[in-house]
């Protein structure tokens, strides 16, 4: 059975509070792991797409009937860090045999009963009963109480994606984006050049590094006034549905550099 997952709000800075736990933000694919009362396993993406057939190794994890878990699918790199490109490759291609791990961080149903109204720490106890030991196929997200600032410093030093701060007493708010769960993303920053924009279809600004290398397309965070300013620049030429302009320097934030050397999810910060 599909249950629409609880979503996070974003906050810019980590904080310390005894009312919160702190978890690593895993760089993977959100997954709802459902076992009906007859013991049949179904896997769903956050958008209600059933993806059970894509991950046959996750069908027999000894999760008891009447259970619905929320978590993240990850593929770890050689250093044990979640690798988003690798998990997407595994998701998209049946030929990719990378080891997939389901990392559970919450329980929505237990023994056929919805437990979303229980406080988070009680649901964590239930999760520990359902998944008593971690292995290469299924694990639990580890957490600490408070210490968000120190935890964030530690993940920055390891170039990980970010942290999640969750109220200890939070209920599981099905299908809602809640301020009880807050993500802090470990953004990287750089100054690059806008050298063009899409002339049709989805909005996007063409980016290059200072040495002229292609850096990616920026679709996020560009305010209306900034778009207007770019659209007002003289067009040098048009080619393949891109209008090229003289370079305009901009500061962007992004998740990480892809294996191809591109900015992942670049977002506008300010003009330089």
Q: Phi/psi at 89 (nearest 5 deg)?
A: -65, -45
Q: What is the pTM of this model?
A: 0.93
Residue recorded with tokens 């599981």: 172
Which residues are designated catalytic?
A: 25
Question: Measured between alpha carbons, how far is 22 from 69 in angstroms, rounded to an integer?
Answer: 19
What are 268's two structure tokens? 């506008």
Mean predicted confidence (pLDDT) in 62-88: 96
pLDDT one-digit tens code per residue, 223-255? 999 999 999 999 999 999 999 999 999 999 999
pLDDT at 222 over 90: yes
Question: Measured between alpha carbons, how far is 216 from 258 in angstroms, rounded to an integer?
Answer: 10
Write the DSSP assignment of 30-82 as a string of letters: EEEEEE-TT--EEEE-TTS-B-GGG-GGGS-S-PPSSEEEEEEEE-B-TTS-B
Note the pLDDT of residue 1. Answer: 87
Residue 137, class by beta-carbon neighbours within 10 Å (0-12 exposed, 13-18 middle, 19+ buried)?
middle
Note the pLDDT of residue 23. Answer: 98
The pLDDT confidence band at residue 193, using thresholds 50, 70 and 90, is very high
Q: Do residues 20 and 167 make contact, with C-beta atoms less than 8 angstroms apart?
A: yes
Domain-by-domain residue ranges, the chain?
Answer: 7-185, 188-271
What are 260's two structure tokens? 């191809």
Residue ranges in the chain assigned as alpha helix (H): 84-92, 120-130, 148-157, 224-231
Residue recorded with tokens 């595994």: 90
What are 19's two structure tokens? 């009312």
The pLDDT confidence band at residue 262, using thresholds 50, 70 and 90, is very high
Q: Do residues 140 and 86 make contact, with C-beta atoms less than 8 angstroms apart?
A: no
Give the end-to-end CA distance of the chain in Å, rounded to a whole number.
50
Q: Phi/psi at 194 (nearest 5 deg)?
A: -85, 120
pLDDT at 156 over 90: yes
Q: Do residues 54 and 42 make contact, with C-beta atoms less than 8 angstroms apart?
A: no
What are 119's two structure tokens? 């406080």
- Percent of the chain at pLDDT exceeding 70: 100
Strand 41-44 and strand 29-35: the pairing is antiparallel
Question: Measured between alpha carbons, how far is 99 from 83 in angstroms, rounded to an integer?
Answer: 11
Question: Measured between alpha carbons, how far is 250 from 191 in angstroms, rounded to an integer?
Answer: 6
pLDDT at 189 over 90: yes
Question: Measured between alpha carbons, how far is 48 from 44 in angstroms, rounded to an integer?
Answer: 6
> Could you name the CATH architecture of 7-185?
2-Layer Sandwich (3.30)
- Percent of the chain at pLDDT exceeding 90: 99
Q: Do residues 32 and 43 make contact, with C-beta atoms less than 8 angstroms apart?
A: yes
Which H or E run includes 252? strand 242-254
Which H or E run includes 28? none
- Topology of the domain comprising 188-271: OB fold (Dihydrolipoamide Acetyltransferase, E2P) (2.40.50)
Cα separations (Å) of 2 from 65, 93, 95, 102?
Answer: 15, 24, 27, 17
Spacing of C-alpha 176 from chain mean position? 16
pLDDT one-digit tens code per residue, 84-133? 999 999 999 989 999 999 999 999 999 999 999 999 999 999 999 999 99
Note the pLDDT of residue 73. Answer: 98
Residue recorded with tokens 């040098």: 236
């Amino acid at each position: 059975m599909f249950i629409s997952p609880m979503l996070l709000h974003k906050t810019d800075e980590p904080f310390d509070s005894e009312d919160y736990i702190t978890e690593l933000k895993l760089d993977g694919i959100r997954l709802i792991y459902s076992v009906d009362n007859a013991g049949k396993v179904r896997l769903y993406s956050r958008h209600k797409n059933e993806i059970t057939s894509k991950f046959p190794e996750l069908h027999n994890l000894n999760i008891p009937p009447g259970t619905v878990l929320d978590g993240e699918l990850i593929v770890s790199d050689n250093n044990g860090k979640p690798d988003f490109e690798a998990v997407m490759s595994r998701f998209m291609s049946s030929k990719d045999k990378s080891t997939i791990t389901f990392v559970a961080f919450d329980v929505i149903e237990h023994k056929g009963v919805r437990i979303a109204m229980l406080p988070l720490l009680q649901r964590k106890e239930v999760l520990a009963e359902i998944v008593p030991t971690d292995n290469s196929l299924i694990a639990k997200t580890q957490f600490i109480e408070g210490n968000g600032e120190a935890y964030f410093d530690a993940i920055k030093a390891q170039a990980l994606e970010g942290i999640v701060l969750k109220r200890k007493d939070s209920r599981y708010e099905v299908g809602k984006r809640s301020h009880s769960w807050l993500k802090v993303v470990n953004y990287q920053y750089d100054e690059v050049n806008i050298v063009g924009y899409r002339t049709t279809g989805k909005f996007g600004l063409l980016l290059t590094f200072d040495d002229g290398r292609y850096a990616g397309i920026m679709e996020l965070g560009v305010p209306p006034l900034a778009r207007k300013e770019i659209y007002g620049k003289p067009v040098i030429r048009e080619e393949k549905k891109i209008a090229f302009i003289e370079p305009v320097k901009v500061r962007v934030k992004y998740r990480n550099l892809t294996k191809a050397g591109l900015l992942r999810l670049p977002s506008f910060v300010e003009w330089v």
